[in-house]
Every structure is written in C-alpha cells, then in structure tokens.
C-alpha cells in the first residue's frame, strides 16, 4: 500500500494501477463503516484507491472543521490489511491552490434536507468529488447509504458531467445497539452516546408502521418526531420521508421512500436514514 500526497505522485502511481480501479473517498478517522466500502471495492475492482481529505469547502463557517477528528496513522494501520493499493491524502493547498475559483453545483437534489440546513455543503462535496474523479479516474466509486442525499447528489453529478464511472452505494454499518457508525460519534459523552440510539429507534418504529400498512407520510413523520421528542437530550432538526432520487417530500408512499433525519445530541449533529419498501 502506497501513501502519497502530491498530484504528480498520484498521477504516476495511477498509471501503474490495473483496472478497473475502485475509489473510496473519505475524510479519514476511519471506522468499520468506511472499511466495509473498502472491502466492497477490493472485491469488485482490480485496484483500490482510498482518498483521505477533510474537505474544508463542505463545512459551514459555524461547523466543526477545526475540531473534525483526524488520525492518519491509525487510518493507515486500518487500511494496510485490506489490500488497498493507494492512499491519497492531499493537503488543502493541493486541492485548493491559491486563487481557486471553480465550483460544481448540483441544483435541485442539493437543495432540501441537508442542503437546506447546511447551505453550500453539497457545493463543497460535489466540487471535491469531481476533483477526485478527475485526478484518480476510477471506474467505480463507493459511497455510503449513511449519507443518502450525498449519494444522490454524486449520482446526478456523475451523470450530468459524463464521468465514465459507476457510483456504488453501500449499506450503513451500525453499532450493535443500532447507532450508525460515524467519525462524529467520538464527540458524544457517555450519556449522549446512550441517547443517540433514539435515531435508529425512531426510524425502525416508523418502518414497523409502514410494514403494518401505513402510507400517509404525515403520520410516519409524526411517529419519528414523537419518539425523538421522548428523549430529552435529543433536538431534532428535521425528519423527512422523501423520494430516493429527488429528495422531494412525499405525501403518500406508493413504492419506495427514504426516511431520514438530522438530530442534535447535545452539540453533536447526527444524521441517519433507512429505505422503506426494499
């Protein structure tokens, strides 16, 4: 496994890789969820590239960029046994050289939900992922269902900009009590960690209602909200029942739907989702 930093090194190393090449973009502080993406890439591709870059342009001015957890040494130790060929860990100066002014915006699908709460977030995500796709030229790129809207934005961008690659979306890995694995879980105190299980409990309770025939999304959202409100430490920001591709809210579920939410547990903002009708 080669770890590289500069663009020149990346281009040289990329030329030596056998195709198809699978890319797993990450912001580091890796956990089993990230590793599950790496394993799927390794299974499906001749070569696997992992990028590690805490992308400043997807953080809002009041968000946790400076505090975002980082541990490159530990990340490399986790990746070493996974058959990864290349790890690219560029600096912010490499990704955004002085005078930088080129952006990728994906219109409608970026606007609701996370896009509504985090203005500019998906512009930063789409821009950095487009740059990763250009630099690494993968045939497949792996993303987590955990960030469902991000996956929808990237799918749209890849289609619209004619990136010749397949966007693969992998299932969300969870802790034994249901909490979705996330680099941000380290921010939680032990009391908050206990309270954080409320996200998955509210999603699964709504799924039970769906399985018993409930199709009215206002009822489904109310079920999720009631459960979240039963936890004093939790402050829900939104709950949603939306179309999987457009992220527009549904009134009635006719086929499949994405149930998603953003919830503050103390100062930590957590997101989670499940798909209904699969």
Are 79 and 1 within 8 A, CB to CB?
yes
**What single string gives the DSSP state of each residue in 45-81?**
-SEEEEEE---GGGS-TTSSTTTS---HHHHHHHHGG
Residues near 269 by beta carbon (within 8 Å), at least 6 away in sequence: 184, 237, 262, 263
Binding residue count for ligand AMP, defined by CB under 6 A: 17
In the bound state with ligand AMP, the residue whose beta carbon lies nearer, of 174 and 215, is 174
Q: Does 27 sit near ligand AMP (CB under 6 A)?
A: yes
Residue 39 or 215: the one with the smaller Cβ distance to ligand AMP is 39
CB of 87 to ligand AMP, least distance (A): 13
Q: Which of 76, 89, 158, 181 binds ligand AMP (CB under 6 A)?
A: 181
Smallest distance, ligand AMP to C-beta of residue 170, A: 6
DSSP-derived letter for residue 179 is P
- Tell me how far, at minimum, the Cβ of 230 lies from ligand AMP, in Å: 24
- Copy the structure tokens of residue 193: 């960690």
Instruction: Considering the complex, state which of residue 148 and residue 223 has its C-beta at the smaller distance from ligand AMP.
Output: 148
Residue 57 interacts with ligand AMP (CB under 6 A): yes or no: no
- Distance between CA atoms of residues 58 and 35, nearest Å: 22
* Cβ proximity of 207 and 219 under 8 Å: no
Angle at 180 between CA 165 and CA 246, to 5 degrees: 45
- Which of 13, 17, 23, 34 touches ligand AMP (CB under 6 A)? 34
Nearest to 258 by CA among 129, 106, 161, 114: 114
Q: Which is nearer to ligand AMP, 34 or 42 (CB)?
A: 34
Q: Which of residues 119-178 bind ligand AMP (CB under 6 A)?
A: 143-144, 146-147, 170, 172-173
Is 219 tagged catalytic? no
Asked if 75 interacts with ligand AMP (CB under 6 A), we say no
The pairing of beta strand 47-52 with beta strand 86-88: parallel
Binding site for ligand AMP (CB under 6 A): 26-27, 33-34, 36-37, 143-144, 146-147, 170, 172-173, 180-183
Q: Which residues are catalytic?
A: 34
């Amino acid at each position: 496994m080669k770890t590289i930093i500069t663009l020149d090194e990346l281009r040289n190393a990329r030329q030596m890789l056998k195709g198809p090449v699978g890319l797993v973009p990450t912001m580091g502080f890796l956990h089993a969820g990230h590793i599950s993406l790496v394993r799927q890439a390794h299974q499906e591709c001749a070569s696997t590239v992992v990028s590690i870059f805490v992308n400043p342009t997807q953080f809002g001015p009041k968000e946790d960029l400076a505090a975002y957890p980082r541990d490159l040494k530990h990340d490399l130790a986790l990746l070493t046994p996974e058959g990864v060929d290349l790890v690219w860990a560029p600096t912010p100066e490499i990704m955004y050289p002085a005078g930088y002014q080129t952006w990728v915006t994906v219109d409608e699908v970026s606007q609701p939900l996370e896009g509504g709460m985090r203005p500019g977030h998906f512009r930063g995500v789409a821009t950095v992922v487009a740059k990763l796709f250009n630099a690494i030229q993968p045939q497949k790129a792996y993303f987590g269902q955990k960030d469902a809207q991000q996956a929808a934005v990237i799918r749209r961008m890849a289609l619209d900009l004619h990136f010749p690659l397949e966007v693969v979306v992998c299932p969300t890995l969870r802790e034994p009590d249901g909490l979705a694995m996330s680099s941000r879980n380290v921010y939680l105190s032990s009391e908050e960690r206990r309270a954080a299980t409320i996200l998955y409990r509210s999603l699964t309770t709504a799924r039970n209602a769906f399985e018993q025939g409930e199709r009215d999304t206002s009822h489904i959202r109310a079920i999720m909200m009631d459960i979240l409100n039963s936890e004093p430490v939790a402050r829900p920001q939104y709950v949603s029942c939306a179309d999987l591709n457009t992220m527009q809210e549904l009134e009635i579920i006719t086929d499949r739907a994405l149930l998603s939410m953003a919830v503050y547990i103390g100062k930590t903002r957590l997101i989670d989702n499940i798909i209904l009708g699969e």
